[in-house]
Amino acid sequence: MGLTGCFLDTGTLPGALDWSGLAASLDQWRWHHNIAPDAVVETLTDVDVVVTNKVVLNAERLATAKQLKLICVAATGVNNIDLKAAREYGIDVVNVTDYATESVCQQVFAFILDRATRVAEYDRLVKNGGWTESEFFFRMDYPIEQVAGQTLVIVGGGNTGNAVARAGRAFGMHVLIAERPGANRIREGRTPFLGALATADVLSLHCPLTETTRGLIDADALENMKSTAMLINTARGGVVDSVALAHALRKGKIASAAVDVLDAEPPSAEHPLLANDIPNLRITPHNGWASQTARQRIIDQLAIQIVAFAEGREITPVN
């Protein structure tokens, strides 16, 4: 009898994508658009491979997965998997990497250029008749910035952080890569964390969510930044203290922020950053990664990993 796989949340990869390679990677598949929480344990009891994007696989759920040998995370972050429990039960965990580097990079610069050019505000002004009423050939109601010459500080020197650094240099920005906070040694090409924060005109986060990065940008970090600075988070919501950020924006401790992620997704209506009195905050619904190209890359990488597993070839687990 062949191997059986289960994809717990195919709905996280919507759109017209080619699933044929993944479907052919195992003899049998079960596909769930978004599995109900109370159905996860039963589903895991008789599968060899499980694919999840955001469904949590904790120790309790993994304890019942007697046949399971491989967890494939359809994302880079693996904070929804209990890696320690997976190791104990002999289950390998693999993730997909570098699938959305370009997509996230362009989201970062959409945020940066949005602040610099104020295109949305000027579009609204023109459509409301503001240009037709102008004394001169132009309107200058909102300040326009030049990003060339600004300092872009990046936290997280992986593929996405490096891509953002390259794009920043192409725009003429001065780019700094922050060292890990509290590091005993400053690596070549890195800048001490607090010094980097204090220098940043734009601070862009690209680090994973771990116990050491949770709440990394807290009230103290925000206090250390320039009042004219912009914070961008396209990493994980938990890297930023949401209450502290809301307070910093209200009090003008930093000038603006743009986030594609929150610490609860989807957020409740009472989330601190969804209050209607927070100035200079842009929020997008965790879709900066989700170009069609990136979504197809996820499916293709999953297929490659699962075929290698099924054929007994070496895979590189994250656990």
163-207: per-residue pLDDT in tens? Answer: 999 999 999 999 999 999 888 899 999 999 999 999 999 999 999
Q: What distance in Å separates the CA atoms of residue 41 and residue 253, rounded to the nearest whole number? A: 47
Catalytic residue IDs: 236, 265, 286
Q: What pLDDT is attached to residue 2?
A: 85
The pTM for the full model equals 0.91
Mean pLDDT, rounded, for 55-69: 96
Q: What pLDDT is attached to residue 7?
A: 98
Q: What pLDDT is attached to residue 275?
A: 97
24 pLDDT tier (thresholds 50, 70, 90): very high
Do the two domains 4-99+292-310 and 101-283 of this chain adopt the same fold? yes
Superfamily of domain 4-99+292-310: NAD(P)-binding Rossmann-like Domain (3.40.50.720)
Mean pLDDT, rounded, for 30-58: 97
Domain range summary for the chain, segments of one domain joined by +: 4-99+292-310, 101-283
231-251: per-residue pLDDT in tens? Answer: 999 999 999 999 999 999 999
The domain at 101-283 falls in which architecture? 3-Layer(aba) Sandwich (3.40)
Q: What pLDDT is attached to residue 1?
A: 56
